[in-house]
Structure 1
Amino acid sequence: MNKRGFFGYATKGAWIVMVAVMLQSCGFVKDKFGGKNSKGGSKGGKKGAKQEVGVRNGEVIAAGRKDYKQDTPYGMVLIPSGSFMMGQADEDVAATQVNFNRRVTITSFYMDDTEITNHEYRQFVTALMTDSLSVLGEEEIMAKYHPDTTVWRKDFTYHNGDPMTEYYFSHPAFDTYPVVGVSWKAARYFSTWRSNLYNDYRSKEGKYSSPKFRLPTEAEWEWAARGGRASAKYPWGNPYVANGKGCFLANFKPQRGNYDADGYPYTAPANAYNANDYGLYNMAGNVAEWTLDAFADNATVVNWDMNPMNDNPDEPRKIIRGGSWKDVAYFLETGTRSWEYEDNKRAFIGFRCVVENLAGRAATARGGRKR
């Protein structure tokens, strides 16, 4: 091919590209994602013609529905997406060998900034007694969903738990303290009730439904507890349980059983002590927390590395995390795993909820199609 022929083809190609761009800008070439200047959009098609959602001029378009914005539920904070080395953050002094380190990725979600309190859980019990009494019956509600207040006596031998049994759940002095004596199944039922309550309100307001409340997975819980600190032994970041002034940073069992040394002999208010870098309170100590996962010795090995979860329904042992007011510092570590039977109710186990962040599942700040 001679130079004249080559430049002739090049010039012709350039003109074709220029014409295509002009047609696109004028709305004659359809934008797949339904831009406002696309054919059949706000400047195209018969004026006043009714168009079906997702259909334009008889053709399916890729444009999404507008005006969706996920609201932050009351009392929750946004936990960002990220990747971290999940597992033991320090020496496995108990030689459990059930938490081998591996890298996992977690997508963004919302999490309660505190454990569910007595006052919050009492709204749930009251609603059941009011709205579901004819369906469930008072006996079932009290047996399955009402906190077992006798755990303060049953969980500890030769212990005067009568005052806590009588007052902890019902008295206003403990309204902002974490609810205890609740089984894993009851915590999940609370999450379902909370989801229905929230989405009923959103429906009345003409809003899209929200993802449902649920318990966090074990991986989500650990990612949130670390607060963005890659190798944090405790949620506050440093490897010590007291600050430079000697003040303890959580509610646990320090000094070989000096329960009062941290300021609270039993549980503490759900927002006591300082929050971690994600704004979460008491991710170590106070009460251990139910997670969604079933327990397995090799779970960290066999679970997938993207949003891992062991949802074995045949395993009655469920993971609890964070340690409690009656535990030594080892159980407060971000990488320490423990478990309890799903039907058991304890004076040292509570919970908090999470909600999916759909925007976090759709794209991250570093990639994805711009909308």
Structure 2
Amino acid sequence: MKLKKRIPNYLILCVIVLLCIQCKDAAKENKTTQESPEVTVDTKTKKDTTYTLLVKKPKDVKVPDGMVWIPGGEFIQGAVPQDKMAMQHEKPAHKVAVDGFFMDITEVTNAQFAKFVNQTGYTTVAERAIDWEEMKKQVPEGTPKPHDSILQPGSLTFKKTKTSVPNLFDFSQWWHWTIGANWKHPNGPGSSIKGLDNHPVVQICYEDAMAYCNWANRRLPTEAEWEYAANGGKSGTIFFWGDDRSVLSKNANSWEGEFPVENSKKDGFEKRAPVKSYQPNGYGLYDMAGNVWEWTSDWYNVNYYKELAATTTKKNPLGATDAYNPQNLYIKEKVIKGGSFLCSDSYCASYRISARMGSSVDSSAEHTGFRTVATVKMLK
């Protein structure tokens, strides 16, 4: 299998900064097939919009191993009124409808990803050699080639700071480009996933997740599907368990303590936790809050919610047609959901249902993984 070489954006930024210092110390699916008698169809109407909605699982379709049926329905996507930590890109809230679908009960594990790699010989982006000829196209013209010791395969790893950090917007204080970091060595060359079969696979970029999906006859969830499933059959709450922040440590693997200096491990874990370490939500889904961020198929566009809210109720929305983030104009980002073990009240608090973030499609990190979904049509 011939794999296209990609240059991680974080590495490009690191190289540009390094060179500047050297130079001068400066700076979907809509259901179109005929419904079977076993399928319950809801008819929803708003203004001039009428549609059918697949709610119940057809009796002739078996639930795949490791998945659960998420019944179709309507919900309000975006920040709930009582959420004081909601960010602007989570607003305005808007009504969305989704057909029923199957979803992985847990994040894809190291064991599951290893099976995929063993059967296909797939090489993740973080393991591929850096191609300077390709990289030259993404840096200012005339940029000299960095030393070969820098242009090595790797990924992002987290390191706690020794003292308090006054500026939490500067993520370079705790994120570092680590040569040799990949899904088999998530924290760098000295780390290993031996004995961690039941931990979520990380250091996975969007391309890697898509490759796994293609092999498994699955796909990534849309942002709407992910958020609908995260609610667990409830609606109108900040977290899947309700609005009570005081029970976070019993429900999610997150950062508790002063970020990024000291993690109290009140929830029982310093880094990633084995899947199913905390109670599931109402649909039987584990780790929809915390542990690791999860890829969705939607482009991250800061204007998307405003645009969608201006339309009538949307069925099975596929996200923005293109990425747009004024803070990263030259980087294409996809939406990631769920937060991770690094999320704290002071940093991102993204264990909230409506929380969302953009991540470059070629970026991988030790707190990013994924889970998959399947539709009735895919399984027939």
**Cα displacement string for residues 155-179 of structure 1 (whole angstroms, at most 9, x for unaligned residues):** 835899989434755412x110001
The 3 A distance-change label for structure 1 pair 94 and 292 is: same
C-alpha distance in 2, partners of 1:335/1:353? 19
Question: Given the alignment, which residue of 119, 142, 147 partners 2:111?
Answer: 119
* Contact 2:155/2:365 (8 A) holds in 1: no
* Contact 2:75/2:95 (8 A) holds in 1: yes
User: Which structure carries more strand by proportion?
Assistant: 2
SS at match of 1:193: helix
Aligned equivalent of 1:355: 374
| 1:57-206 equivalence runs, <5 A | 69-89=60-80, 90-93=82-85, 95-129=87-121, 142-143=127-128, 150-152=155-157, 156=174, 164-166=187-189, 170-172=193-195, 174-195=196-217
Larger displacement relative to structure 2 (179-188 or 257-266): 257-266
Q: Show structure 1 runs of 4+ deviating over 4 A.
A: 138-141, 157-163, 166-169
Question: Given the alignment, which residue of 260, 270, 280 partners 1:265?
Answer: 270
SS at match of 2:111: helix
Q: Which one-letter code corresponds to 2:78 in the other structure?
A: G
Matched positions, count = 264
SS at match of 2:366: coil
Q: Which one-letter code corresponds to 2:273 in the other structure?
A: A
Report how far residue 189 of structure 1 moved: 1.0
Indicate the structure whose relative CO is greater, using CA pairs within 8 Å and at least 6 residues apart: 2
Q: Which one-letter code corresponds to 1:322 in the other structure?
A: G
Q: 1:282 and 2:276 equivalent?
A: no
**Cα displacement string for residues 214-251 of structure 1 (whole angstroms, at most 9, x for unaligned residues):** 000000000000001111211223432417xxx53210
Q: Which one-letter code corresponds to 1:306 in the other structure?
A: K
**Cα displacement string for residues 235-293 of structure 1 (whole angstroms, at most 9, x for unaligned residues):** 223432417xxx53210012334241110000000111000000000000000110010
TM-score using structure 1 length = 0.64
C-alpha distance in 2, partners of 1:163/1:356? 31
SS at match of 2:244: coil
User: Which structure carries more helix by proportion?
Assistant: 1
* Contact 1:152/1:164 (8 A) holds in 2: yes
Identity score, percent: 30
Aligned equivalent of 1:307: 316
* Contact 2:200/2:272 (8 A) holds in 1: yes
Rg larger in structure:
1
* Contact 1:72/1:110 (8 A) holds in 2: yes
Report how far residue 319 of structure 1 moved: 0.2
* Contact 1:99/1:337 (8 A) holds in 2: no
Unaligned runs of 5+ in 2: 1-57, 130-152, 160-171, 325-331
SS at match of 2:211: helix
Aligned equivalent of 1:228: 233
TM-score using structure 2 length = 0.62
Question: Given the alignment, which residue of 242, 249, 252 partners 2:251?
Answer: 249
C-alpha distance in 1, partners of 2:364/2:176? 19
Question: Given the alignment, which residue of 350, 354, 376 partners 1:331?
Answer: 350
Unaligned runs of 5+ in 1: 1-66, 133-137, 196-212, 360-371
C-alpha distance in 2, partners of 1:327/1:342? 21
* Contact 1:149/1:181 (8 A) holds in 2: no
Larger displacement relative to structure 2 (72-81 or 157-166): 157-166
C-alpha distance in 1, partners of 2:59/2:336? 35
The 3 A distance-change label for structure 1 pair 157 and 335 is: closer
C-alpha distance in 1, partners of 2:106/2:197? 13
